[in-house]
Amino acid sequence: MASLGPRIDELIEAFRCLPGVGPKSAQRMAFHLLERQRDGGKRLSNALNDALTNVHHCQQCRILSELELCNRCSDANRRHDQLCIVEMPSDVLAIEQATHYKGQFFVLSGHLSPLDGIGPEALGIPQLITLFDKNTIQELILATNPTVEGEATAHYISQLAHSRNIHVTRLAHGIPLGGELEFVDSGTLSHAFSGRESI
């Protein structure tokens, strides 16, 4: 791509740090801000700078928070005997919007992936073990994604919990509501069939 000047080139390249944004999308966003949304661009810049400066991880659950202890961890009305393990902060919001869960969360910010250099320390596992050893957790809910890496991460954490006599449950995986069996992929159908429950 021909250069448009160092500042424009840098702006386009900066947009490419976002997931799913390639060269053309980055170029479109940069041109849109410069040609039509300069005020919006300034607002975006200020909000981004403020968030990057003031938003960190909660010291207990590792979700993004402006406070050392997020509002979920400091809420005395939430259950402290249930802990739900998720991969990303967005998973916390998804669970809260779809369920009535009022326990605690722990955000891994990823999954085990030795090939990518992501081990237990990167996921905050030592911090999670400290929570286990406080002996307040009665149920550990594993809500990692149903991928190979997510399943391996769930298995690793479940072994840590079982060794401390913590009851472990896993989110059910299977056929979506309204789905028809003939259109469900074989892996999902196999998982749902092997995980069938009594009614």
Domain residues for the domain of 93 are 74-170
Per-residue confidence band for 3, with pLDDT thresholds at 50, 70 and 90? confident
pTM, two decimals, is: 0.82
pLDDT at 177 over 80: no
In 3D, which of 2, 1, 4 has the Cα closest to residue 30? 4
**Res. 190 pLDDT band, cuts 50 70 90:** confident
Under the banding of pLDDT at 50, 70 and 90, the label for residue 198 is low
Report yes or no on 163 lying in a domain: yes
- Which of 77-81, 144-148, 176-180 has the largest mean confidence? 77-81
| pLDDT score of 50 | 96
pLDDT at 199 over 80: no
Q: For 117, which DSSP code?
A: T
Residue 63 counted as domain residue: no
| pLDDT over 90 at 30, yes or no | yes
Q: Residue type for 167, please?
A: H
36-48: average pLDDT: 94
In terms of average pLDDT, the best of 56-65, 179-188, 189-198 is 56-65
Map residue 6 onto helix, strand or coil. helix
Q: Look at residue 64 and tell me if it is in a domain.
A: no
Q: Which tokens in the block code for residue 158?
A: 């479940």
Residue 195: pLDDT over 60: yes
% of the chain with per-residue pLDDT over 70: 97
Task: Answer whether residue 107 is part of any domain.
Answer: yes
Q: Has residue 181 been placed in a domain?
A: no
Residue (of 64, 63, 69, 84) closest to 137 by Cα position: 84
Co-location of 100 and 146 in the same domain = yes
Co-location of 128 and 46 in the same domain: no
45 and 111 co-located in one domain? no
For the chain, list the strands marked E by DSSP. 56-57, 64-65, 82-86, 104-107, 139-142, 167-170
For residue 184, the model assigns a pLDDT of 77
In this predicted structure, the answer to whether residue 105 has a pLDDT above a threshold of 90 is yes
Read out DSSP for 130-156?
Answer: HHHTTT--SEEEE---SSHHHHHHHHH
Beta bridge partners of 167: 139
d(C-alpha 184, C-alpha 176), whole Å? 9
CA 54-58-59 angle, 5° bins: 120
pLDDT average, residue stretch 87-106: 93
Cβ atoms of 113 and 119 within 8 Å: the answer is no
Clarify whether residues 47 and 87 are in a common domain: no
Tell me, yes or no, whether 15 and 88 share the same domain.
Answer: no
Q: Are residues 125 and 166 in the same domain?
A: yes
Domain match, 50 and 104 both: no
Judge whether residue 180 has pLDDT over 90: no
CATH number at residue 48: 1.10.8.420
Q: Are residues 50 and 132 in the same domain?
A: no
Task: List, for residues 120-176, the tens digit of each pLDDT value.
Answer: 999 999 999 999 998 889 999 999 988 889 999 999 999 999 999 999 999 887 777
What is the domain count for the chain? Answer: 2
Q: Are residues 21 and 97 in the same domain?
A: no
Mean pLDDT over each residue of the chain, to the nearest integer: 90
Residue 12 has a pLDDT of: 94
The rounded distance, in Å, linking the Cα atoms of 119 and 105 is 20
